[in-house]
Amino acid sequence: MTIPNKRVAVLSPVAWRTPPRQYGAWETVASNITEGLVSRGWDVTLFASRDSVTRAHLHAVVDRGYEEDPAIDPKVAEYLHISEAFEHAAEFDLIHSHYDFMALSYTRLVKTPVLTTIHGFSSPRIMTVYEKYRDGYFVSISNSDRAPGLNYLATVYNGIDLSLYPLQELGGDHLIFLGRIHPDKGVHLAIKVARLSGLPLLIAGIIQDQTYFREQVEPHLDRTIRYVGPVDVPGKNELFARARALLHLNTIPERFGLVLAEANAAGVPAIAMDLGSCREVIKDGQTGFLVNNVNEAVRALERLSEIDRSACRLRVQQCFSVETMVEAYERVYSTIFDLEGEKRT
């Protein structure tokens, strides 16, 4: 549904490079949307850090992600970056923001329509900003992660590049955890499942909460439970090749869970806590199992033979591919252009 002569700006975060080298879910999605739009003939400018990699036009005022360079002040980088995009707003027919509540404060200062993909509400304290700009254009990344009263145009599930995650037809004997080392992600619960099941566990991800890691993860590390650090895409695939299952025992409602789609793309079943969007991403009994506690997770491991790895990948192709995501965003863009046209008549 490429709309001719329409110019789109994609505003990516600048915590990490776009796409990220290792961690960075929001940057990953912004990159996948950008590259998907370019593939379908759109004229796209990506606002991201200068070291970002894209086939779109790259516009940058920040050299590197502030999480990757301690010399960069995060707030200075963020506001230089966001303001730069909005100072160029007149050059575009649409700005597609992935910058949470901060970019909303600029939206009434420009005539260009702004679509905000809400990747999650980080705190109740930011809701006053969303309430002020509630009549803007919003997309949610899951049906479960919505706030009442906002002008949602659609739910568009995050899409991944399946070519990055080849099908691992056999898998291995390990349980794996991939994600932020933080209480929200339930690493301590994954460790309990590994101990109760007697299966080895590989833990990968950035340490976001040092105290949590030191007190609830590090004391349990040994030859069977190992922390391997942050991993890039090849590192993820090495883990997927060794995986019997992915453990995603989140302790708060999941907003989307990109790693669930990545694991399923590689044919790895996921055992996920039934909170938030997990039941939207995981098809219970077909691409993994939804559980409510550690004991249920242990019992689910006994049913992994019921999961067809090819079916896991097929569901990702159908529901969570870049192509599916971009086609959905094209429909949202079309709706916005129609609504803006009605305002002018």
Ordered structural domains, the chain, with CATH:
7-159+321-344 (3.40.50.2000), 162-319 (3.40.50.2000)
Residue pointed to by tokens 């056999």: 170
Question: In the chain, which stretches have pLDDT less than 50?
Answer: none
Instruction: Cite the beta strand spans of 24-98 per DSSP E.
Output: 43-47, 57-59, 94-97
Tokens of 126: 């930011």
Tokens of 64: 């590197």
pLDDT given at position 4: 62
pLDDT given at position 131: 97
Task: Tell me the pLDDT tens digit for each residue of 302-333.
Answer: 999 999 999 999 999 999 999 999 999 999 99
pLDDT given at position 158: 97
- Backbone φ and ψ for 36, nearest 5 degrees, come out as -65, -40
Residues 101-118: b if buried by 16+ CB within 10 A, e if exposed: bbbbebbeebebbbbbbb
Tokens of 179: 């994600």
pLDDT given at position 2: 59
pLDDT given at position 3: 65
pLDDT given at position 69: 94
pTM: 0.94
